A and B are shown apart, each in its own frame.
Chain A
Amino acid sequence: MEAKTAPAPAAAALAPPRTGLRLSSRWATLLVLAVVIGTIPWFFPSGFYFRVAALVWVTGLAAVGLQILMGQAGQVSLGHAGFVGIGAYSMALGPKYLGLDVLLCLPLGAAAAAVIAFVVGRPILRLKGHYLAVATLGFGMLVTMVLVSEVGITGGPDGIRVPRAELLGWRIRGGETFYWITGGALQIGVWIALNLQDSPSGRALAALHDSEVAARTVGIDVAAHKLRAFVIAAVYGAVAGGLLALLNGFVTPDAAGFLASVEYVTMVVIGGLASVPGAVVGAALLVLLPQVLTVFHDYEHAVFGLMIMLFMIFLRVGIVPGLAALLRRRG
């Protein structure tokens, strides 16, 4: 009795099989994240660490959004930072030109990003592979160019200030405050992403990721679902961008730049394309590495580039799935 094993496509090698996020795995992720967020401040020698950690949480939030688009829906985006930039600049432009309260600009910026993603996404998502990659890259670059060129409105390459946030008289500032705000935002963001993964919509995304043709024949409106993932990722990016703006009190066009987009992609890929917590791990790695390498600041690009190549060649499944596979083999 010969049993032919069907040839699993090369794409399957990029991410490990979805062995179903059982309840325990979901809860484990959320619990571990909550514990980490809740306990590491104990180890902070100074206030500076709160800011760095807050940066990790915010960046992680943006990365999780991209993971939904790239890991779950399988659509590559080299322009994710464009939405981060839109969210970030809303926090500066909203108060300045529309007189809005800066906190209100957070959801407004997210809404703006959602609308833009909806409009731009429809035509862009008809493309695949490297065409899609370059189209999203083009989008990101156009956002950056507008931010850089409209100096009168956006302050150009030098950036623009973001006013301090105030909620019912309470001034929101200080590394520690932002640490808890961004940590909470990340926890919620991860919870939502995990919910999506284990739901009808999530299965639709996973299906169209593996075979668009088959997904269509079981009734999935592929174009509509891709667009949903794109918009959701944009919202994640914009919220992260808004929080980033509050954290720094300042925004520059670099937040939306090509290099930033590449960093987000790297975070997701290194952490594990199929893994929601992997995006957070990747973000932590990429935010903390330059901090560790401050001495070697000039080598930053070289190291970054090398890291990308090595991971994509040798550990394509990413850190979290790689570790999980290792543990599975031992246990």
Chain B
Amino acid sequence: MNAMPGQGQVLLTAKGIGISFGGLRAVDNVGFSARAGEILAIIGPNGAGKTTLFNIVSGLYRASSGRIALDGQDVTDAPPHRLAARGLSRTFQNLQVFFRMTALENVMAGRHLQEKSGLLADLFRLPGTRWANDATREAAMALLAEVGLADKADLPAGSLPYGALKRLEIARAMATNPRVLMLDEPAAGCNPVETEEIDHLIAAVAARGVAVVLIEHDMKLVMRISRHVVVLNQGRMLAEGTPEEVRSNPEVIAAYLGTHGAKEAARA
């Protein structure tokens, strides 16, 4: 069980991250710090490199330069499953739900690291496995209830609507008991009601002491709940600071928000 960090303690830092695909420099010298209990938003136009940055930090891509540290420990080349063991979890922009499993089983899968039964116990259904099954099922049901999907627990994930799947991924990511949670466009494609639900969910997660890093396009959401904002454009950092600082930054307005967007953001 990961110890509760102090509020504001830096849990994840990325410094000087860079990666190239062929001749294209997709991310260039980007860095950020995520603090316990706080929400950091990464925004920018499409193609700015936000998801690529996420993929690097979560271990799916290997950066050509830069360092990543989790809890002070260098994890730059660590594979995703090791990062998960150290408390880093994420959701995906293009849903990576386990479509053939039920909603409950999806979240149960997220509890993998907490289950310690071992292969032999699993093959022969020893008490350790049965206990793991029950404990996991219980914990997963609780998480489903938290995201409002308890009534859909036994439905195949492939039959759930889009908004529900977004929440399911969050529940699954939470099942890993993360200290840092990275959410890639958690509200994308969601209507205002769904967005507000996710809004509350993210705030509740952060209140628990988890460091949340968020990629979002919904400016109202971003301005409302994040403490710190990083703006990317064409792979580089354009600006960073508090939501107020960023939304009034003329370069950010020119590159991304536009005057209408700036007004939207101001209204949030």
The residues of A with any CB-CB pair to B shorter than 8 Å are: 1-6, 8-9, 12, 15-20, 192, 195-196, 198-204, 206-207, 209-211, 213-222, 228, 232, 274
Contact = CB atoms under 8 A, between A and B. Distances in A.
B255 interface: no
Which size bracket describes the interface of B in this complex?
35 or more
B108 interface: yes
Contacts of A9: 99
Interface stretch (B28-36, B79-87, B196-204, B243-251): B79-87
A219 B96 contact: no
A35 B201 CA distance: 51
Contacts of A4: 161-163, 189
B125 A213 contact: no
Interface string B142-176: 00000000000010111111111100000011011
B224 interface: no
Contact of A20 (B102, B129, B164): B102
B96 A203 contact: no
A6 B162 contact: yes
B238 to A, nearest CB: 28
Nearest to A228: B119
A214 to B, nearest CB: 4
A17 B100 contact: yes
Given A18-B102, A19-B102, A211-B98, 12 more contacts: A3-B161, A5-B162, A6-B95, A6-B99, A6-B160, A6-B165, A18-B105, A216-B84, A217-B89, A218-B84, A218-B89, A232-B123
A20 B99 contact: no
Contacts, number: 159
B113 to A, nearest CB: 4
Contacts of B176: 218-219
B191 A2 contact: yes
A29 to B, nearest CB: 14
A202 B98 CA distance: 13
Question: Nearest 3 A-B pairs (CB), nearest first?
Answer: A17-B156, A219-B84, A3-B161
18 contacts: A4-B161, A5-B159, A16-B100, A17-B158, A18-B100, A19-B102, A200-B117, A200-B133, A206-B98, A206-B109, A207-B98, A214-B96, A214-B97, A217-B81, A217-B173, A218-B89, A219-B113, A232-B123
A220 B106 CA distance: 13
Contacts of B109: 203-204, 206-207, 215, 218, 220
Contacts of A202: 122
Interface of B: 58-60, 79-81, 83-85, 89-90, 92, 95-102, 104-105, 108-110, 112-113, 115, 117, 119, 121-125, 129, 132-133, 136, 154, 156-165, 172-173, 175-176, 189, 191, 193
A60 to B, nearest CB: 18
A18 B58 CA distance: 28
Nearest to B162: A4
Contacts of A196: 122-123
Contact of B96 (A18, A211, A220): A211
Contact of A204 (B112, B160, B189): B112
A220 to B, nearest CB: 5
Nearest to B83: A217
B99 A216 contact: no
Prevailing SS type, chain B contact patch? helix
A192 B158 contact: no
Contacts of B113: 218-219
Contact of A15 (B60, B100, B102, B164): B100
Contact of A17 (B123, B129, B136, B159): B159
Nearest to A206: B101
Contacts of A15: 100
A232 B120 CA distance: 11
A203 B108 contact: yes
A220 B100 CA distance: 17
A203 B100 contact: no
A158 B223 CA distance: 77
A16 B158 CA distance: 10
A5 B161 contact: yes
A17 B155 CA distance: 9
Contacts of A19: 102, 154, 156
Most interface-central of A4, A210, A215, A217 (chain B CB within 10 A) = A217
B81 A221 contact: yes
Contacts of B79: 216
Contacts of A200: 112, 115, 117, 122, 129, 132-133, 136
A150 to B, nearest CB: 34
Contacts of B101: 17-18, 203, 206-207, 210
A5 B158 CA distance: 8
Given A1-B191, A198-B133, A214-B98, A219 B104 contact: no
Nearest to A215: B109
A4 B166 CA distance: 11
B220 to A, nearest CB: 19
A72 to B, nearest CB: 11
Given A1-B193, A6-B165, A218 B99 contact: no
Nearest to B176: A218
Contacts of B122: 195-196, 199-202
Contacts of A214: 92, 96-98, 172
Most interface-central of A2, A198, A214, A219 (chain B CB within 10 A) = A219
Nearest to B156: A17
